[in-house]
Structure 1
């Protein structure tokens, strides 16, 4: 049995046994605290320590606003975490005791690049360690302005949270063997902003060779800021902050300026990596098309009605669809999209139609394009989760699947989704006892495994008429809510 004390490059760590034969090490620094002169700088290597460091407690999440209300998917059994802090560049490792060269999962949490921590949904990571013998790594990375503000005079800037993720992957490459993991079999996995991070890492020259499989839930490609968008956010942020000396003010003042721009769901899609010329040198999808992640198998999943979650959480959000689409494609292009959806979905009222358009604009089409691009370079499997949400309490248990509702099932040992994802993360094709044969995805057929609470079936190009309505259209990632002073 592997001992609770592990020696790695920076020193010894003492962990904790979380289950019979499952060990965990928590709050491990993978970079120096990004404070003082290291604020606004890329992550720096950890200094070694003497003696044995306690690794039984979780580290602090990144600086972020407090939750505005209890979340629909909050887990009352989630780990208790310390207060948020700039000193947040830590990760957790959970592994089966004994054994070597086990496949590794690196989990990237969601939260719109503004909230969240590595334990979200994954908890202590023990479910995949128990069910599939995987070594699970969860991590925190810088969020909001501290992670994604493009600060004049700093270089690189605008994507430090993505630099953090790369630094964590380098830590895994250099250290995971000490915990029983195989640095040559690393899968990077994420949901929501974590899934969009997966696509960004696939397109990043700095992440090349650091992972060997990728899985994306409710994500897709190209959730990045153009230079113009990044500059617009910076101008408004500095106006709220009242100074351009971002390194000299308190974290509380930075957070106050951030929340003055947008709070809660209105901040969704505002914070995202900029193309900084270092960790991102082009739009990620363009890089993937060119083969930046060649040889990396991909599992790409989305939910049936992704943006129903936003329509429920922020009533009236769909009224902005007309303005957003006209801004992307002009009034004529917007009207052509709505007309195509009315033909494809005569079952929907005008609100439902706008939810469907929003879902495809934000998640489904970006996921399709990522799958199309990567399928030229590696095997790709595609899935859609339909629900209903029988794993949630009433009255939500009868709803169709929406954004993030697949996340609990990915981590729940008794679910077919967990079984299928575990098989993929361990190095095989995704499969579960009660799912039919799951063919690989090609742009010609777009075969998709449609998963529901009752089982699953394959379909070629489901909702293809909706997908086809976006063919030939290109648009930058953007906010969905109009935000004063931000284009």
Structure 2
């Protein structure tokens, strides 16, 4: 038996690789069902005896995947985490993973798998977990407080559990690195900004992050539409079936067109103000940050939904009006004469959704702590042997999420370099290249010819959007959703 103690009871794990142990399906909060639906997570109930921790817990309820992967059931009862550690670990650094999926899909094992690669290569203790998604995680229920960010509360509860219990698994609670990709990367920004995480984060890393929260009007409009589709009043939200909640969510939009619809609100508890403003003011002072984006982020969305590029003119006009929209298009056309009309708009989408927002995050945090930036230009890691995606590999160079599997699993070439950089950051606090600063803005480029340090590779995007402020929303139009 491989038994470890938590504050709520003992768990028995299993050896998943030579000298690597895992404990799976550990509840970090009570099941958020019945009267606990759409309410903040509550501490788990204690248990007696030794709980078997060989199997993963349920994944969050979510829309059916286009390419479904085998795994645990999808269920409203989903607040479970997993710990992986090298044998004999004592006070080892901890890597806490927040999965992506647009706040509407995914699970803790996405890209990270069982975490064994980092446990074996860098001696890290790895924590992965599931959190509430879509309406169950991010619906604003009129008259309730807090509301609109319950999935973020779940993420903070999992982090708190880790801080309080990880020593029993060989981890150092004073050396927790939070890392997320896509929605997980945006979550890292929220965790850095939240007053509820003070003292729990030692380092932070994000892939394709930035910030993406709902405004009050967006939250109100989305809730109005949701309850209309549900056919029930907000007071009845805990009496309807979970499948009815999911159906109402899908009536508003389904992936990929629903991406960026569900996201946290500034609820006054987990977030007390806009996350970037909080970080600018020093909310995460002293926490080193590693921030990476991909060179062609939104090529993935254009591939999944060929009408993605067509949305750019409407989205930009909605933000800024026609004159600024035309000026942005002209600026991108002048800088990228090699791109056709669709590719030009995909480049704008990449910068608006990710690159510029991450740049502003890096600038804000660099006032208070060391920051490193990087860009991934290489092949989409982890799909070479996937028959669904392998034929598309060249179309996905530098695309959104293309760095994730390489970071987690390592391998050859760029994948190994990514894995080692993240491992070095999580253990020693330095990925191995020059720090980012607003007077130099150096960044590491992970390209096909190998890594190279570049001076201000994001200059054109930053300059094109300089002086512009906007409230991001869904990229695709949904009736009654701002």
Regarding TM over 0.5, the answer is yes
Could you say which residue in structure 2 is the equivalent of 1:84? 74
User: Which residue of 227, 230, 243 corresponds with 1:238?
Assistant: 227
1:40–1:146: 8 Å Cα contact kept in structure 2?
A: yes
Verify: 1:267 aligned to 2:258, yes or no. Answer: yes
After the TM superposition, which of the residue ranges 325-334 and 341-350 deviates more from structure 2? 341-350
CA shift digits 1:231-270 (9 cap, x unpaired): 0000000000000211110000000000000001111000
Aligned to 2:343: 352
Matched, 1:403 2:400: yes
Q: Per-residue deviation at 1:81?
A: 2.5
Superposed, 1:149-168 pairs within 5 Å as: 149-168=139-158
Residue 55 (structure 1) aligned to one of 29, 50, 53 = 53
Instruction: Give a deviation string over 1:325-375, Cα, whole Å, max 9, x none.
Output: 000011111111111111111111111110010000000001101111101
Does the CA contact (< 8 Å) of 1:390 and 1:397 recur in 2?
A: no
Question: Structure 2 matches for 1:6-155, cutoff 5 A?
Answer: 6-67=4-65, 69-70=66-67, 80-155=70-145
Whether contact under 8 Å (1:382, 1:448) holds in the other structure is: yes
Equivalent position SS for 2:398: coil
Q: 2:210 aligns with which of 184, 208, 220?
A: 220
Matches within 5 A, 1:320-339: 320-339=311-330
Per-residue deviation, 1:390: 7.0
Match of 2:75, SS?
coil
TM-score by length of 1: 0.95
Aligned to 1:443: 438
CA distance in 1, matches of 2:276, 2:133: 23
Equivalenced residue count is 470
CA distance in 2, matches of 1:448, 1:16: 40
TM-score normalised per structure 2 = 0.96
In structure 2, distance between residues paired with 1:446 and 1:485 = 40
Mapping for residues 305-320 of structure 1, pairs under 5 Å: 305-320=296-311
Deviation at 1:466, TM superposition (A): 2.5
1:421 alignment partner in structure 2: 422
Q: Once the 2 structures are TM-superposed, how far is the Cα of residue 391 of structure 1 from its aligned partner? A: 5.4
Matches of 2:218 and 2:241, distance apart in 1: 25
Structure 1 consecutive aligned stretches of length 4 or more whose deviation exceeds 2 Å: 388-400
Q: Deviations over 1:126-161 (max 9, x none)?
A: 110000000000000000000000001211000000
C-alpha distance in structure 1 between counterparts of 2:453 and 2:215, whole Å: 37
Q: 1:63-114 CA deviation, whole Å, 9 max, x = no partner? A: 11111x227xx7xxxxx52211111111000001113110001000000000
How far is 1:463 from its partner?
A: 4.2
Provide the C-alpha distance between the structure 2 equivalents of 1:182 and 1:20, rounded to a whole number of angstroms: 22
Q: In structure 2, what is the Cα distance between the partners aligned to 1:112 and 1:226?
A: 17
Does residue 2 of structure 2 align to residue 4 of structure 1? yes
8 Å contact from structure 2 (residues 117, 409) kept in 1: yes
Indicate if the aligned counterparts of 1:96 and 1:130 stay in contact, CA closer than 8 A. Answer: yes
The answer to whether the Cα contact below 8 Å between 2:380 and 2:401 also exists between their aligned partners in 1 is: no
Q: Deviations over 1:362-411 (max 9, x none)?
A: 00001101111101111101000001447543433333210001111111
Shift of 1:40: 1.2
* Aligned partner (choices 430, 448, 454) of residue 449 of structure 2: 454
Cα deviation for residue 184 of structure 1 reads: 0.3
Following superposition, the deviation at residue 196 of structure 1 comes to: 0.4
Q: CA RMSD for the aligned pairs?
A: 1.2
Give the match's secondary structure for 1:266: coil
1:250 counterpart = 2:241: yes
The answer to whether the 8 Å contact 2:203/2:426 transfers is yes
Q: State the distance in 1 between where 2:98 and 2:374 align.
A: 19
In the alignment, which residue of structure 2 is the partner of 1:383? Answer: 374
Residue 317 of structure 1 deviates from its aligned partner by 1.4
- Give the Cα–Cα distance (whole angstroms) in 2 for the partners of residues 461 and 350 of structure 1: 26
Asked if the contact 1:340/1:466 (under 8 Å) is kept, the reply is: no
* Partner Cα separation in structure 2 for residue 398 and residue 237 of structure 1: 39
Looking at structure 1, the residues matched to 184 and 352 of structure 2 have their Cα atoms a distance apart, in angstroms, of: 18
| Cα distance in structure 1, aligned partners of 2:41 and 2:417 | 38
How far apart are the structure 1 equivalents of 2:476 and 2:4?
A: 48
Q: Deviations over 1:194-218 (max 9, x none)?
A: 0000001111111121111000001
Deviations 1:308-333 (A, max 9, x none): 10011101211110010000011111
1:198 aligned to which of 182, 185, 188? 188
